[in-house]
A = this chain, B = another copy of it.
Amino acid sequence: MSVLVVGSIALDTVKTPVEEHADLLGGSASFAAVSASFFTSVNMVGIVGTDFPKEHVKFFSDHKINTEGLQVVEGKTFRWSGEYMWDMNSRETRSVALNVFEHFTPKLPASYTETPYILLANIAPSLQHHVLNQIKKPKFVIADTMDLWISTAVEDMLSLMKRVDMLILNDSEARQLTKQTSLIKAGYAILEQGPKYVAIKKGEHGCLLFGKGRFFSCPAYPLEEIKDPTGAGDTFAGGLAGYLASVDGGEVTFDKLRMAVVYGSVLASFNVESFSMDRLQTIKPADIEERYHLFRMMSQFESLK
């Protein structure tokens, strides 16, 4: 089954302690859609300016991402610039120019409105609501978010949580939203706000998945070197949603979601190995399977017979 992905599409300038690159393809929808496309067909929703390089649109199409919902409007594409500190975990935003993104009103093509799996990648919760309003009968809705929306649009966030099946957020956002220090308490507190499932991302420490009375702790795939963490969370969410849609055969269960979290982590581990989507451009489904099996071997308690 197919996945609808809505979010930002950006041109990023990224500085790390060793390198700097300008005007890279970025944005939550870009990373998430490309990641999901390894598993299933993707309907993309987003906005770019007339300056958006055609090669990026071709890249989406090469990944069989449906760009019918990609609005191209007069003006400049959303631009973001950030710098990673020496530990590659903390990041400072250097500049943001919303440009055409400022007046984005997602309008879904008729062909999108019956997409069963919905990934509301990181954008303002009001826009996430707006997209949801146009979907006829979603089967499973996942929302990603960020600290900015918890600070500035918490009411929209709280009402959104009652409409989604799963919320994805990182550890500091989970603490910010619930005022709980313990991530275990935070996860269960979020479940009480509406979603049936919550994934709390912990960066280099992996991810925690919560369901009613269920829990799964997924480590991070061990990488010796991280070139650029930008988009890791979006790639995770995209891989998760794409995998889930691909194994569709009835209800979404905790066991399916657990595997989806692992596949999302695998995709994210590839993504941070180079800038922008450079690494995702080179991998094949067999690479994903190989890393999944290595990852499983490294994470099991007892030897596989």
Which A residues contact B (CB, under 8 angstroms)? 86-88, 181-185, 188, 202, 204-206, 208, 215-220, 222-226, 255, 258-259, 262, 295-296, 298-303
Contact = CB atoms under 8 A, between A and B. Distances in A.
Given A296-B301, A296-B302, A299-B299, A217 B206 contact: yes
Contacts of A258: 301-302
A220 B202 CA distance: 13
Q: Which of A185, A219, A259 has the most CB of B within 10 A?
A: A219
Contacts of A208: 222
B182 A262 contact: no
B215 A217 contact: no
Contacts of A299: 216-217, 299, 301
Contact of A300 (B86, B205, B295, B300): B300
Contacts of A184: 222-224
Contacts of A216: 298-299
Contacts of A295: 301
